[in-house]
Amino acid sequence: MMAKRYFSKLPAGLIALSLCFASLVRADQSFTPAQLRAPFLLHIAHFTQFPDDDVSGAPVYFCFLEGENHPQADAFRGSPAKDVRQRQILLVEMDSIEAINQQPCHVLFVSQQYENEELFKSLVSLKDKTVSIGESLNFIEQGGMMSIMPMQSRMRIFFSREAFQSTELKFSSALLKRVNFR
């Protein structure tokens, strides 16, 4: 089933700011990839319609399956934004692939060290309610939804064409204009 595009009802200022940010952020040496990736995770959530968006007061879960010290979660924690479309953000740090099936996630970031066959099998059952995001092209080639990577001195979002066509999640046209389909 083809995913439907979701036209966000976000304030025009937020949309313009995020589009400018997405086009201006460069993978500068003074920032780590985790620090550059964190705002992209937030913007992806802002421009995605989740199945439970109509549940009043329900939080948005950002899950991080990373190695020791959770660098991506720490970078995200430093973000000034504390909500997504007036829904509170809750961070969940995971240390095992098994945790993916035990914790609801709207956005799931997976570091490259966890990419393996077991992970990709787990992602199959999540595709209709979770945006899975990795940090390599292998991630989307093996079944992940998106990957955010530094390329040509900029951060780029790659989106699996297969995942896009098979998910029930809805994405705004503002996001879809900024991704590279693979």
What string of DSSP letters covers 15-61?
Answer: HHHHHHHHHH-B--TTS-HHHHHHHHHHHHHHTEE-TTTTSTT--EE
Instruction: Please give the model's pTM, rounded to 2 decimal places.
Output: 0.82
Inform me whether the pLDDT recorded for 115 exceeds 90. yes
Percent over 70 (pLDDT), the chain: 84
> Which residues lie closer than 8 Å to 49 by C-beta, 6 or more apart?
6, 169, 170, 171, 172
List the alpha helices (DSSP H) in 78-136: 117-124
DSSP-derived letter for residue 81 is: -
Instruction: Encode pLDDT of 57-66 as tens digits.
Output: 899 999 999 9
Token pair of 40 as six digits: 């992209």
d(CA 18, CA 124) in angstroms, rounded, equals: 29
CA distance linking residue 140 with residue 123, whole number of Å: 11
CATH number of 28-181: 3.40.50.2300
> Three-class SS of residue 137?
helix
CA–CA separation, 45 and 61 (whole Å): 10
Predicted confidence at residue 47, as pLDDT, reads 96
Residue 121, pLDDT > 70, answer yes
- Average pLDDT estimate for 109-113: 95
Res 29: pLDDT? 52
